[in-house]
Amino acid sequence: MQNNSAVPSSKNCLINSSTFAASFSFALKKVFLFGIILTVFNSTTAQVVNPAMLDTSASVHLGKITIGAYVDAYFGADVNEYKSGNRPYFVSSARRKEVNINLALIHLHYNGNRVRLHLAPGFGTYMAANYANEPAGLRNLVEANAGVCLSQKRGIWLDAGVLGSPYTNESAISKDHLMYSRSLSAEYVPYYLSGVKLTLPLNNKLTLYLYGLNGWQKIATEQYAGSGGTQLEYKINNNLLVNWNTYVGNERNNSVDTKRMRYFTDVYWIYNRNKFSATSCAYIGLQNYADKSSNIWWQANFIARYRFHQLFSLSARAEYFSDPDQVMIVPVNNVPGSSIFSGGLSACFHIDEHALVRFEGRYFNATEKIYNNQNSEAINQSIMLVANITAWF
């Protein structure tokens, strides 16, 4: 998540947002209609995995210790021109016209009966952009946490440290996703959390997670005010997973004294059956301010993939991200906040079970002129192209 929030230039109270509520409700129904239809199918040919949990199934297992590595290299191009070499509004794969490393990490796990440890240091342009506001000694921690088992019979665990984020259907690990690049939705929620997590399995399909946090993607905090979140994961069957998250926290700090309480919730589902996979996410956030005003931002996306062959697949994405009051996105030009429609297509070559080569194109159309063309003129459209090699063990 980019740390580029600013004080909104105009503030619309939530009580006057009936038009938004109707639009969001309509989009939510459309986004999740396909997911409801898919629940009638049941197959055991593939296991759906929640992207909030780092998948270590391909790692080397040495007794109770698991060791793995992951490298995500990319080359990006853009029809627009940015003097800094960075594509605005993204932290993932954001460098242009150069071969670079988005994320390289090593992950170490120890899984005992009563104790577990997880360490995953990371490097790359994603780490540099996403951890820029953290102290120097903490900028390379994708995850670093320790856990103790409170009940072996019920599978209750308490973990503390830097944790993976449950928010949205995409994480920093591209290999676990249907498209290479991340949706705008994922770029503007926490990619990581710092605090404690309590895991409470309710039954063999339903698991509740409770979070006590330092804040909205913060390891070190200037002014601790307390934050928390919940995650409810429902594995309907081996092919379909539904997840609902919440976040509540005071965003006031020494740098931005105008912000107060933030409320956020998202819902997503993930489906994987034979050659077809799909996922969709919708969320809404509310930011309160010291002057008693409130702003909202929301999004909805849909991503699908079809494997034509064990070595080749095609994926497509459609998304709509609305932030008219600059809660999350501060345009590079001096224009109001914007809503953005994006569509993309990705071709993926599965080299083997430990490597992917992907080529992806995305088109963006914003309601405001938030991009610049090669003549430095403000425009409302943008096209990006990216090629990627990802390998892991």
3-state secondary structure 82-129: CCCCECCCCCCCCECCCEEEEEEEEEEEEECCCEEEEEEEEECHHHHH
- Given a cut of 70, is residue 53 above it in pLDDT? no
Torsion angle, alpha carbons of 130, 341, 87, 11, to 10: -60
Assigned domain for 311 exists: yes
- Report residue 23 as tokens: 């639009």
Least confident of 166-170, 224-228, 280-284, 325-329: 224-228
Question: How high is the pLDDT of residue 45?
Answer: 44
> What span, in angstroms and rounded, lies between the C-alpha atoms of 379 and 382?
8
Q: What is the pLDDT of residue 312?
A: 97
The label of the residue with tokens 């928390």 reads 228
Taking only the tens place, the pLDDT of each residue in 142-152 is 999 999 999 99
Residue 2 is assigned to a structural domain of this protein: no
Residue 195 pLDDT class (50, 70, 90 cuts): very high
207: pLDDT strictly greater than 70: yes
Higher pLDDT, 53 or 235: 235
Tell me the β-bridge partners of 301: 281, 319
Q: Is residue 3 part of a domain?
A: no
> Residue 139 domain-assigned?
yes
| CATH assignment of the domain containing 165 | 2.40.160.10
Report the pLDDT value the prediction gives residue 13, as an integer from 0 to 100: 36
Compare 77 and 255 and report the one with higher pLDDT: 77
- Could you give the percent of the chain with pLDDT greater than 90? 72
Q: Which residues contact 208 (CB under 8 A, 6 or more apart)?
A: 199, 200, 201, 202, 230, 231, 232, 233
Look up residue 143 and give its two tokens. Answer: 């995850």
Token pair in block for residue 88:
């605005």
Q: What is the pLDDT of residue 373?
A: 86
| Confidence check: pLDDT of 35 > 90 | no
pLDDT computed for residue 20 by the predictor: 45
Residue 45 lies in a domain: yes
In a domain, 7, yes or no: no
- Chain position carrying tokens 């938004």: 20
| Overall average pLDDT of the 15-23 stretch | 44
Annotate 159-203 with DSSP letters as a single string. Answer: EEEEEE--SSS--S-GGGSSSSSPPHHHHTS-SEEEEEEEEEE-S
Closest CA to 3 of 150, 162, 289, 217: 217
Confidence of residue 39 (pLDDT cuts 50, 70, 90): very low
Residue 163 lies inside a defined structural domain of this protein:
yes
> How many structural domains are present in the chain?
1
Range of the structural domain that residue 27 is part of: 14-51+61-392
- Residue 9 per-residue DSSP state: S
Kindly tell me if the per-residue pLDDT of 209 is higher than 60.
yes
pTM of the predicted model as reported, rounded to 2 decimal places: 0.86
pLDDT tens figures, 169-181: 999 999 989 999 9
- Taking only the tens place, the pLDDT of each residue in 268-301 is 999 999 999 999 999 999 999 999 999 999 999 9
Higher pLDDT, 64 or 8: 64
Out of 20-29, 89-98, 178-187, 383-392, which region has the weakest mean confidence (pLDDT)? 20-29
DSSP state of 14: G
Residue 37: inside a domain: yes
* 339-364 tens-digit pLDDT: 999 999 999 999 999 999 999 999 99
358 burial level (CB within 10 Å; 0-12, 13-18, 19+): buried
**Of residues 233, 210, 214, 230, the one with CA closest to residue 222:** 214
